[in-house]
Chain A
Amino acid sequence: MSEIEARQTDAERRRITPLLPVTDGRDGGLVFTVAVLAFIACLAVIAALAADRAAQGWTSDLSASVTLQVRPKGGDTGPEAAARAAEAVAGVKGVVEARALDRKSAEALLEPWLGKDNIPQDLPLPQLVTVDLDPKAPASLASLNAALATAHLDASVDDRQRWMSDVRRAADLVRLAAVVACLILAAAAGSVIAFATRQGLAARRDVVEVLHLCGAEDQFVANLFMGRFAVLALQASAYGALAAAAGGAGLRLLGGSDGFSPALPIAWQDLAICAGAPILAALVAALSARSAAMAILRAQP
């Protein structure tokens, strides 16, 4: 084997060196910033998913039952009227179970306002009937009212629509807040990366100049910066996403089967959302870096 052939063989074993330096001391701050942005974004999405689940649980609980308030008339006592109302609606299609609340249960409902053992025995309490509905085919308000009218009962049906609309509105707000938070964080990450690209181009002006004079097109140079910052954002946001996933897992473990709290029931599957953060961050970084690089390169002679 000749000397040149031997050197060529050596050269063939070499890996391709990136045209932009792989390590740059100035990248530390950018890695930290992108990692923090990814961490906050992941936590925001995890919290939004948990809040959405809580809101769905509340609305399904509320929509799965209605309450009847029965006003005794004729010779009926309150408990008798309530028992008759429960019996009347129990036969309606779409009702799973109807039960009249006894005085003890009614007192328990008033306890938060009047305190325990502070309710006089002669205080008239509303006669309530709880009706559990079939979640798949719930009885309509009209069919319940018709059954009550047939039994000659004076009762009103509270289907909790007012509460449900409030809960639904709250859930929608939580979803909207999560989307807005993610958009703001993505915009912030994009701005930071665009700024870093400009700094990187300024710092690597020598490399850019040499590449240009060697005949590199703007697209080629911009792609170098795009790839570099996409990889950097991928790595940095992976750190942030891992930290967020670890935090979410910690909250899930602390909270048991309810998640962090009944108001924020984090599920294991929510943590999977963290896997998408690095890909999204890399995409935002790639687009920002490319756009910034092309703007700078086009301004050159």
Chain B
Amino acid sequence: MRYGTSPDVLRDISFSLAPGSFHFLTGASGAGKSSLLKLIYLAQRPSRGEITLFGQDVGRAPRDALPALRRRIGVVFQEFHLLDHLTVFDNAALPLRVTEQRTDLYRSDVSELLQWVGLGARLESYPPTLSGGEKQRLAIARAVVNRPDILLADEPTGNVDHAMALRILRLLVELNRMGATVLIASHDEDLVARSGMPVLHLDDGVLTRQPPRSAPGRDTAPS
């Protein structure tokens, strides 16, 4: 993958993630972690090669097929990407709202989810009034509100203290237990080591470490 005429950001990458698995994506700053996540959450198209998600080659999928695929992927962005003019509730409910679901059908579910991530008392607050940890948890709530099959997180613990990082990790593990395939980009080696989860390591755009081949039935195979 490359941006415009610049050199390849990612090259010769081939790996598969089994459904329901939990992986860390590590690498130095600039190694291509965010670019790899962008390919998976369909914010970028590969310059060449193939990315298979849910049994489809998404690199060649028509544009109008992408929204349905994106709804099956939850993303926690490094910079949160919360909408400052929407309340905590509305930010968390955004993936449901863009599918034009009726508010009364999801209101209690979203409130309960926000309660679960510790933001039950901040439903009517706006993102600029939240702390870094609260923003992070709100971003996670938004990413999981429509129960995605894949959860991607880009440095989800990068803006919080160690205690909050552990709390967020426990939250992500819990979501994984509920069935989501989780891939977390992180440079927090201590956190990665504590988790004991398998690691994919990127070094200057090349995958130098990847998990052992998983069992058949995988539905996610970025390459």
Residues of A within 8 A of B (CB): 3-4, 7-8, 10-12, 14, 16-17, 19, 21-22, 206-207, 209-218, 220, 298, 301
Q: How far is the CA of A221 from the CA of B98 in the complex (A)?
A: 9
A8 to B111, Cβ gap below 8 A?
yes
B70 to A214, Cβ gap below 8 A?
yes
Q: 8 A-B contacts, Cβ less than 8 Å apart? A: A4-B120, A19-B86, A207-B83, A210-B94, A214-B142, A216-B98, A218-B64, A301-B44
CB distance from B87 to the nearest CB of A (A): 6
With a cutoff of 8 Å between Cβ atoms, the chain A residues found around residue B191 in the complex are none
Q: How many residues on B have C-beta within 8 angstroms of the other chain's C-beta atoms?
A: 38
B120 to A3, Cβ gap below 8 A?
yes
Selected from B81, B95, B124, the residue in CB contact (under 8 A) with A215 is B95
Most buried by B among A11, A12, A206, A211: A11
Selected from A11, A17, A22, the residue in CB contact (under 8 A) with B107 is A11
Q: How far is the CA of A7 from the CA of B113 in the complex (A)?
A: 12
Tell me the nearest residue of chain A to B111, going by C-beta: A8
B108 to A215, Cβ gap below 8 A?
no
With a cutoff of 8 Å between Cβ atoms, the chain A residues found around residue B99 in the complex are 215
A19 to B107, Cβ gap below 8 A?
no
CB distance from B34 to the nearest CB of A (A): 13
The reply on B103 being an interface residue by CB < 8 A is: yes
B89 to A14, Cβ gap below 8 A?
yes
A211 to B81, Cβ gap below 8 A?
no
With a cutoff of 8 Å between Cβ atoms, the chain A residues found around residue B100 in the complex are 220
Q: How far is the CA of A11 from the CA of B89 in the complex (A)?
A: 8
B94 to A214, Cβ gap below 8 A?
yes
With a cutoff of 8 Å between Cβ atoms, the chain A residues found around residue B94 in the complex are 19, 210-211, 214
Selected from B67, B95, B123, the residue in CB contact (under 8 A) with A11 is B123
